[in-house]
């Protein structure tokens, strides 16, 4: 019957292939010749092809002797089964030889080997089908031939996929679909990284340099990024420290220049450029970018939208009330500036003139409606360009705090004392005198409270140099 003939053909093909493989191994051992990997694959393919051809010839001979002629559909099925069996045997033989020789291919090479084996099996199956069709004198029309080829290819693909799944299960390497995709992506990323590293290494070895235009563009981008970060930091520090916009811009430009110079030195070492040339290019690019950023910032500032009611601080009304009272009782020019400090819990902040500092403080202390009777903090700060006194007051009547600031000349920082208004200002003013050298006029007992009377200099000043370096 047809099934028994198929089994007989498969057994005959397997036996012939096994004999051919055994003979090939025996000859290789006797001759002591070790083929390279590519020649070994070719030898295996040739041996498999020879075994297939012998099995097919034996099957045809048996079929002719028994006088059993299968129909066209059964013939196709028989061909597909024979091709699948041959492919499975070839794959099993390849795995066995690989284990014996101790050669374990990486995952990428294994996939390539599977694809090659599948392609070789397809080609062999198609060649066998054409040969059998010619021998039996059956020539299919062009459409049927294409259909037969497609069927054979589909069967070969299905068999190869099933074989791959079976092997993965046997080896315990069955991954979910998501993990397989992740593994593929990781492998591709690793391959890209290796290729990039190799390219960089080759470029260094060969002394390859980028065109001047590309180098300039890269430098400009790096300088622009560094400058943008420096400008953002400068704006933040200027808000915190009370610096003006010009000072902040100068600091940002200096930081950008320093970063650009460092980058230029690094690139000059890598590319072999002249250091002065690289510095000049980087500084020029930084200046151009700084000018562009300054223009853009000015344009944005000029076109700044009006603050909507939703953006107003909840303490804005309190600030307006305090400012109005000061201007009415002390004078229109008493305050230099006033604002809501968003970085300090929206506290209303008043910036006084040194001449009106004490008058404003006295008004805040004794006005019946305001009555800022509690001084919670007083300290001084050295901003290098000037000194600054910061006073934090609280009114229990209004349940509101307010900050009073005044800027002083750094060379001769002199300001009236608030100790007559708030006795709690006594020691904080002594501390500011001790560490910063700020002189508070009409203080009841201004003295050093942390350092000795013979101490040289003021340690919290930015330019302080210790008199005794061992201290």
Query: Are 123 and 192 contacting, i.e. CB atoms less than 8 angstroms apart?
Result: no
Query: Are 248 and 236 contacting, i.e. CB atoms less than 8 angstroms apart?
Result: no
Q: Name residues whose C-beta falls within 8 Å of residue 98's C-beta, 6 or more positions apart in sequence.
A: 104, 105
Measure the CA angle with vertex 87, ends 150 and 120; round to 5°. Answer: 65
Token pair belonging to 48 = 């498999």
Beta-bridged to residue 400, according to DSSP, are: 395
Query: Are 361 and 330 contacting, i.e. CB atoms less than 8 angstroms apart?
Result: no
Q: Roughly how many angstroms between the first and final C-alpha of the chain, as a whole number? A: 109
pLDDT per residue rounded down to tens, the chain (471 residues): 556 667 777 787 777 777 877 777 777 676 554 445 555 566 667 766 776 777 677 767 776 766 544 444 455 566 677 667 767 777 777 677 767 655 444 555 556 666 776 667 677 767 776 777 676 654 445 555 556 566 666 666 777 667 767 766 665 544 455 555 555 666 666 666 666 676 677 666 655 444 555 555 556 666 666 666 666 666 666 666 655 556 666 666 677 677 767 776 776 676 655 666 666 776 777 677 767 766 766 655 554 444 445 578 899 999 999 999 999 999 999 999 999 999 988 999 999 999 999 999 999 999 999 999 999 999 999 999 999 999 999 999 999 999 999 999 999 999 999 999 999 999 999 999 999 999 999 999 999 999 988 888 999 999 988 876 665
pTM: predicted TM-score of the whole model, two decimal places: 0.38
Range list of β-strands (E), 253-386 = 335-341, 347-352, 374-382
CA distance 461 to 435: 7
CA distance 250 to 257: 11
Q: Phi and psi for 92 in degrees, rounded to 5?
A: -60, -40
359 closest CA partner among 339, 333, 337, 338 = 333
CA distance 53 to 143: 27
334 closest CA partner among 361, 303, 299 = 361
Q: Quote the pLDDT of residue 375.
A: 96
Read out DSSP for 111-125?
Answer: HHHHHHHHHHHHHHH
CA distance 324 to 314: 17
Token pair belonging to 407 = 């800027």
Read out DSSP for 149-197?
Answer: HHHHHHHHHHHHHHHHHHHHHHTT----HHHHHHHHHHHHHHHHHHHHH
Query: Are 343 and 313 contacting, i.e. CB atoms less than 8 angstroms apart?
Result: no
Q: Name residues whose C-beta falls within 8 Å of residue 265's C-beta, 6 or more positions apart in sequence.
A: 275, 278, 279
Q: What is the DSSP letter of 405?
A: E
Q: Quote the pLDDT of residue 445.
A: 93
CA distance 293 to 223: 12
Q: What is the DSSP letter of 467?
A: S
């Amino acid at each position: 019957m047809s099934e028994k003939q198929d089994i007989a053909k498969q057994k005959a093909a397997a036996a012939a292939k096994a004999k051919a493989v055994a003979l090939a191994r025996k000859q290789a051992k006797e001759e002591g010749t070790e083929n390279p990997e590519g020649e070994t694959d070719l030898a295996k393919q040739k041996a498999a092809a020879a075994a297939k051809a012998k099995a097919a010839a034996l099957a045809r001979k048996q079929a002719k002797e028994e006088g059993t002629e299968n129909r066209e559909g059964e013939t196709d099925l028989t061909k597909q089964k024979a091709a699948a069996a041959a492919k499975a045997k070839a794959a099993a033989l390849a795995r066995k030889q690989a284990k014996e020789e101790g050669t374990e291919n990486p995952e990428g090479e294994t996939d390539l080997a599977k694809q090659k084996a599948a392609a070789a099996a397809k080609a062999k199956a198609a060649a066998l089908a054409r040969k059998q069709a010619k021998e039996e004198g059956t020539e299919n029309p062009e459409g049927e031939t294409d259909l037969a080829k497609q069927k054979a290819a589909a069967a070969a693909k299905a068999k190869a996929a099933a074989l791959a799944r079976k092997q993965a299960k046997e080896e315990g390497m069955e991954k979910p679909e998501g993990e397989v995709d992740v593994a593929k992506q990781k492998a591709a990323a690793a391959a890209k990284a290796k290729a990039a590293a190799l390219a960089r290494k080759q470029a260094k070895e060969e002394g390859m340099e980028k065109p001047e235009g590309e180098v300039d563009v890269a430098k400009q981008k790096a300088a622009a990024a560094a400058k943008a970060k420096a400008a953002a930091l400068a704006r933040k520090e200027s808000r915190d420290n009370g610096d003006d916009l010009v000072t902040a811009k100068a600091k940002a430009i200096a930081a950008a220049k320093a970063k650009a110079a460092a980058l230029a030195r690094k690139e000059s070492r890598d590319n072999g450029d002249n250091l002065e040339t690289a510095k000049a290019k980087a500084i020029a690019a930084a200046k151009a970018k700084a000018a562009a950023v300054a223009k853009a910032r000015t344009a944005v500032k000029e076109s700044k939208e009006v603050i909507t009611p939703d953006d107003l601080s909840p303490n804005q009304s309190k600030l307006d009330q305090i400012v109005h009272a000061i201007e009415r009782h002390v004078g229109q020019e008493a305050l230099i500036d006033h604002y809501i400090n968003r970085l300090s819990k929206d506290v209303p902040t008043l910036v006084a003139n040194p001449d009106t500092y004490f008058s404003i403080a006295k008004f805040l202390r004794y006005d019946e409606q305001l009555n800022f009777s509690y001084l919670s903090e007083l300290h001084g700060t050295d901003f290098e360009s000037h000194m600054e006194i910061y006073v934090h007051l609280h009114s229990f009547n209004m349940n509101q705090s307010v900050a009073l600031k005044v800027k002083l000349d750094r060379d001769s920082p002199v300001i009236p004392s608030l100790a007559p208004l708030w006795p709690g200002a006594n020691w904080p003013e002594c501390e500011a005198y001790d560490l910063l050298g700020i002189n508070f006029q009409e203080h009841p007992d201004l003295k050093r409270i942390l350092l000795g009377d013979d101490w040289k200099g003021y340690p919290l000043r930015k330019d302080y140099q210790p008199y005794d370096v061992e201290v």
